[in-house]
Amino acid sequence: MQVAVEVARPEAAEADVVAVPVVDPPSPLAGQAAELDRRLDGQLSRLVDEGEIRGRLDHVAVVHVNADGLPARRVALAGVGPREAIDADTLRTAAGAVARATRDFGRTVAWMLDDDLALPLPEQTRAVVEGTMLGGYDPGLWKTDGSDRRPSRRLVLWSDGDFDLARPAERARRVADWTNRARDLSNMPPNELTPERLAARASEIGEQFHTLTVEALGPDEMRELGMGSLGAVAQGSHNPPRLIVMRYEAPSPARDNLVLGLVGKAVTFDTGGISLKPALYMEDMKGDMSGGGAVVEAMGALADVECPINAIAVVGATENMPGGGAYRPGDILTAMNGKTIEVINTDAEGRLVLADALWYARQQGATHLLDLATLTGAMELALGDLYSGLFANDDEWGEQIVAAGEASGDHVWRFPLHPRYRRYIDSHFADMKNSSILRQGSPVLAAEFLREFTGEGPWAHLDIAGPAFFRYSRGDYLTQRGGTGFGVRLIVELADRLSGR
């Protein structure tokens, strides 16, 4: 869905639908809903009495109203749940529910922001824009039924407060749009989204902004650089790998000596390789590039909102395939930093991809590293579809990422690193092995593995295996199966906070 966002006073804009939040219980109506009810001579409170208007989160009642004073024929009463539980996520959920309930007739939706809710108006603005755009996303781009899956809509935010809401509204619109582009990448089938195709998307973004430069290294360049770890994962595939490098030079950087280094795992299809995965749900492994996809689109977002922080992105894009040329359990690889790795399981490929990408990002001048990867199934088992797991070698850096996650809606929960986990990946033959036969602590030991390749300085790792790609709806504003764009909003928020903006 393409959305144009405007801010207006209640009397100013014509709309197909006016949306207003309704707290549970709805009787008596409060805030803007009560205000609207007065303007409609009690039409709404009568519907509350009849049980048609509820207030339960995610419930939307669309009613037709007779109104002289109201520039719309319909009102969407959007349940936001109990007052004490209202936060940005609940408002996103309510806005997403309105977007879906009004899809067929709501070309223009006017949302009444509400002083009566405990959330500041700029935050409400952001939540309603995100909920509308992310909640209205349709992943069925490959259906041939002729219906328009990217309709353009107008979202008008009504407020009689004096805040400047146009800026947060436009910013949220842009960031949500980049987030939906990251979802498109995750949802693209693996026969379309090859490593080359992802690199082409990065170049396409680079062409939109003079502040962005994009290059993509191929297998020969990777070999010359000594990237034996990433190279091994890629060698079993007929589709050649790409190391996508994007550099963002901020127009006037707020922090001279800081370069945000974003690293992404982009395994465009993970079969497990010779350590083949079972068939059930293997199709979802097209989403194994979601970390890299989020990093690519987030770089576009940083350039688009002219974030005053310099950033470099390094995305390792490859397939993980079995075949005559594939790497094997038992192989010993030499990574770009010279360390050797015994392969135990070819399905633990993500950490091998990241090893060379992290080291390269540091070499290219990243001062603060953050990697995003759908790295371990156990992370999804532990945290489900809401939180991603965070591992950090620096407390301050870790805390900044948790805070940016909370503020952005991309939630993050910190897990431990500890040197005594290192023995899990001790190898008899090489410096380390890529997986343990112990079925314990797999997200932690994956993180301990990555730590070997992060060089000097703060680094954090987000294992996004749970929230990046849904097998089932989450039931909030992210209702769709497939990619969620997890990380795009967090990265922009983090970069903004680093700049002090």
Is residue 350 a contact residue for Zn ion (CB under 5 A)? yes
Tell the smallest beta-carbon distance from residue 267 to Zn ion (Å): 5
Q: Candidates 122-130, 142-150, 173-181, 266-274: pick the segment binding Mn ion (CB under 5 A).
A: 266-274
- Helix (H/G/I), strand (E/B), else coil: 49: helix
Contact 244, 198 (CB under 8 A): yes
CA angle 5, 125, 404 (to 5 degrees): 115
Pick one of Zn ion, Mn ion, ligand BES, none as the site partner of residue 496 (Cβ within 5 to 8 A by kind). Answer: none
By the 10 Å C-beta count (0-12 exposed, 13-18 middle, 19+ buried), 411 is classed as middle
Query: Residue 58 corresponds to which tokens in the numbers above?
Result: 């995610």
Pick one of ligand BES, Mn ion, Zn ion, none as the site partner of residue 333 (Cβ within 5 to 8 A by kind). Answer: none
Catalytic residue among 173, 265, 351, 362: 351
Binder of Mn ion out of 184, 304, 347, 476 (CB under 5 A): 347
Q: Give, for 242, the enclosing helix (H) or strand (E).
A: strand 242-248
Tell the smallest beta-carbon distance from residue 240 to Mn ion (Å): 19
CB of 39 or CB of 277, closer to Zn ion: 277
Contact 491, 475 (CB under 8 A): no
Contact 461, 76 (CB under 8 A): no
Site string for Zn ion, 287-326 (x = CB under 5 A): -x--------------------------------------
**Terminal CA-to-CA distance of the chain, rounded, Å?**
29
Is residue 270 a contact residue for Mn ion (CB under 5 A)? yes
> Catalytic residue at 277?
yes
CB-side neighbour CA atoms (13 Å) of 89: 13
CB of 334 or CB of 345, closer to Zn ion: 345
DSSP for residue 189: -
Is residue 463 a contact residue for Mn ion (CB under 5 A)? no
Give every CB contact of residue 158 below 8 A, 6+ residues apart in sequence.
Answer: 8, 9, 10, 13, 18, 110, 111, 112, 113
CB of 32 or CB of 346, closer to ligand BES: 346
Q: How far is CA 78 from CA 2, 56, 163, 238, 394, in A?
A: 21, 8, 23, 50, 42
Binder of Zn ion out of 270, 342, 452, 463 (CB under 5 A): 270
> Catalytic residue at 351?
yes
CB of 21 or CB of 316, closer to Zn ion: 316
DSSP for residue 277: P
Tell the smallest beta-carbon distance from residue 344 to Mn ion (Å): 12
Q: Candidates 58-66, 195-203, 284-292, 357-365: pick the segment binding Zn ion (CB under 5 A).
A: 284-292
Q: What does the binding site for ligand BES look like in residue numbers (CB under 6 A)? A: 270, 288, 345, 347-350, 374-378, 380, 435, 442, 465
Neighbours of 21 (CB within 10 A): 28
Tell the smallest beta-carbon distance from residue 266 to Zn ion (Å): 10
Contact 288, 326 (CB under 8 A): no
CB of 347 or CB of 463, closer to Mn ion: 347
CB of 19 or CB of 465, closer to Zn ion: 465
Q: What residues line the site for Zn ion (CB under 5 A)?
A: 267, 270, 288, 350
- As annotated, the active-site residues are 277, 351
